[in-house]
Amino acid sequence: MTIFYFVAFLSIFFALMTIFTKNPVHSVLYLVITFFTFTVHYILLNAQFLAVVNFIVYMGAIMVLFLFVLMLLNLNKDTEPMKSHLVKFMGVIAGMCLLVTFLGAFRVLETNNEFVQGHADIGLVKNLGKVLFKDFLLPFELSSILLLTAMVGAVLLAKKETRTNQNG
C-alpha cells in the first residue's frame, strides 16, 4: 500500500508539472514520466499486458510522436495564444466543480467492493486474450473498420492534390 501511495503521489505531481511548465518540450517529458508511473500502477494491479502496452505504445511511440510534432510546429512563447483572465477563472471554477463532484462520489465508496477488488488475475495476457476473443470478438473485429477509416483518412489528407477547389 505504501508503494501505491508513493507512486500515486508521483503521478499527480508529474501530471501537475506537465500542465504548469512553460516549455512545451519539458511538458512532454513530464508527461512521459507520468505515463511511466501509470505503468508502475498497472504492474501493482497485476495487469501485465496493460503495463507492457502502456510502456511500449504510449511512453515509447506516442510520446516520441508528440516530441516530433512539437519540433515541427516549433512552438514558443510568441505563438502561444493569450487567454483572458475571465476564461482562466471560469476554467478553474469548472474544473474544481468537477473535482469536488468526483471526490464526493469516490469518498463514499467502500474499498472492499467486489468490483473494485475484482478478479486478481484478469490482467494477465491469457485471461485478457480469452475475454477479447470470446466475449468481445465483435467489437474487436469492428475496430478494424475504425483503423481502416483512420488509414484512408491519413492518406487522403496527406496526398498531394492537383485540382483546386470550386464552389458548391
Partner 1 sequence: MGAIITLSLLGILVLYLGLYKAKNALLPVSILGLLLALGFEAYYWNVEADPLYSGMVIFDHFSLSFSMLCIALTILILLLSKEYFRAISNNIAEYYTLILFSLTGAILVCSYHNFAMLFIGLEIMSVALYILAGIRRNDKASNEASLKYFLMGAFSTGFLLFGITLLYGSTGSFDLAAIKQHIVDNPTGISPMFYGGILLLLVGLCFKVGAAPFHFWTPDVYDGSPILITTFMSTVVKIASFAGFLKLFSMVLVPLNEFWTPVLLTVVIITLFLGNVTALMQTSFKRMLAYSSISHAGYMLFAILSIGANSASGILAYSAAYGLASIVAFGGLILVKRQVGSDHFESFNGLGKRNPWLAFSITIAMLSLAGIPLTAGFIGKFMMFSNVMNDYHTVLLILAAINAAVGVYYYLRVVVHMYFMKSEAEQTVSMPVNFQVVFVVAVILTIVLGVYPDLILRFI
Given the rule CB under 8 A, which residues bind partner 1?
A: 101-102, 104-106, 108-109, 113-116, 134-139, 142-143, 145-146, 148-150, 152-153, 155-157, 159, 161-168
Give Cα 117 distance to the centre of its chain. 23
Which C-beta is closer to partner 1: that of 56 or that of 100? Answer: 100
Minimum CB separation from partner 1 for residue 159, in Å? 7
Task: Give whole-number Cα distances, 117 to 93, 105, 109, 120, 121, in Å.
Answer: 33, 17, 12, 8, 11
- Minimum separation from the CB atom of position 72 to partner 1 (A): 16
Indicate the Cα dihedral angle 88, 94, 97, 101, nearest 10°: -140
How far from each other are the two terminal CA atoms of the chain, in whole angstroms?
A: 63
Q: Between 86 and 138, name the residue whose CB sits nearer to partner 1.
A: 138
- Min CB(139)–partner 1 separation in Å: 4
- Residue with smaller CB distance to partner 1, 16 or 122: 122
Nearest CB to partner 1, comparing residues 6 and 141: 141
Distance CA 61, CA 101 (A): 34
Kindly state the smallest distance separating residue 61's Cβ from partner 1, in Å: 18
Torsion of CA 128, 133, 135, 141, to 10 degrees: 120
